[in-house]
Amino acid sequence: MSTPKVYFISGANRPNGLGFNLAKKLSAQADSLVFAAVRDPSTAKDLARLAEERKNLVVVKLDATSETDAKNAAELVAERPGKLDVLIPCAGICPMGSMRDQSLDDLRQAFEVNTVGPLILYRAFQSLLAKSDAPVFMPISSKAGCFAFVGMPMPTGYYGVSKCALNYLSAKLNAEDDKLCAFVCSPGIVMTDMTADGMRKAGMPPPPKEYTVELEDSVDGMVKVIGEARRETHGGKFIEYNGEPVAW
């Protein structure tokens, strides 16, 4: 029997979200074992239903800000299968507002979930990633965190700051850990709850279709990127869902 490729994905609760659909797509692959994490497994009904159908999909409890949850999740993976190949921190929040007057607690919260959360996961799973032949750490980031897009007319300053720090953190982890392939991935603009709610709160109309990516295309693209990821080609970089490099 071949050893399965093992994935861990956070933020996998919402059926129209990226985390859920990455878990769905990856667990449809032969020889995969997918741990899909949500804040509260008792309310993650769609994921639970999918996990009932697929023996290689395991639902795990994880609040992205909790070191205890991350440690418990890593213990579960350590029991079975005892290694991790691909770690995908996908949980995220996007508090909308202007840097001039938005509550500083929004910035702290964005950092806790979007920046510190992925580092908590990396630390908890470090020893299991070390047991993989080709470990990958691929947090889901955003072009909103790039200097190249700082002029984008969106009230996403705090979100951008937290994703910019995530980008640096991931490149630095790649430099610190010489076996790991750590890089950030941009899913494109996908009309998930986060995008739709954020635009509504900001009083903005939905973006024109030509600027957005269908959920399925984004997820298919990211799965392909994961499959092709090598430290030599992807490590320390920012890669779009379509495999193209993103300017920092």
Ligand X SMILES: NC(=O)c1ccc[n+]([C@@H]2O[C@H](COP(=O)([O-])OP(=O)(O)OC[C@H]3O[C@@H](n4cnc5c(N)ncnc54)[C@H](OP(=O)(O)O)[C@@H]3O)[C@@H](O)[C@H]2O)c1
Residues that bind ligand X in the complex, under the rule CB under 6 A? 11, 13-14, 17-19, 39, 63-65, 90-94, 113, 140, 142, 187, 189-190, 192-195
> Minimum Å distance from CB 85 to ligand X?
20
Find the residue with minimal CB distance to ligand X: 92
Least Å distance, CB 232 to ligand X, is 25
Shortest CA distance to 18 belongs to which of 165, 216, 154? 216
For ligand X, which is the closer residue by CB, 112 or 134? Answer: 112
Q: What residues pair up with 121 in beta bridges, in sequence order? A: none
State CA 245 to chain mean position distance.
Answer: 17
Burial of 131 (0-12, 13-18, 19+ CB in 10 A): middle
For the chain, give the number of residues.
248
φ and ψ of 119, to 5 deg: -70, -40
CA distances for 245 relative to 2, 20, 75, 167, 233, angstroms? 33, 25, 35, 13, 11
Alpha helices in 65-156 (DSSP H): 67-79, 104-110, 117-129
Q: Residue 140 CB, nearest distance to ligand X (Å)? A: 4
Q: State in angstroms the smallest separation of the CB of 145 from ligand X.
A: 9
Q: Do the Cβ atoms of 129 and 7 come closer than 8 Å?
A: no
Between the two ends of the chain, the Cα-to-Cα distance in Å is 42
Q: CB-wise, 64 or 87, nearer to ligand X? A: 64
- Looking at the Cβ atoms of 56 and 186, the one nearer to ligand X is 186
- Residue pair 54/27 in contact (Cβ under 8 Å)? The answer is yes
Pick 140 or 169: Cβ nearer ligand X: 140
- Rounded least distance, CB 83 to ligand X, Å: 23
Q: Which is nearer to ligand X, 46 or 81 (CB)?
A: 46
Closest to ligand X by CB, 83 or 157: 157
Shortest Å distance, C-beta 139 to ligand X: 8
Question: 66 with 40: CB under 8 angstroms?
Answer: no
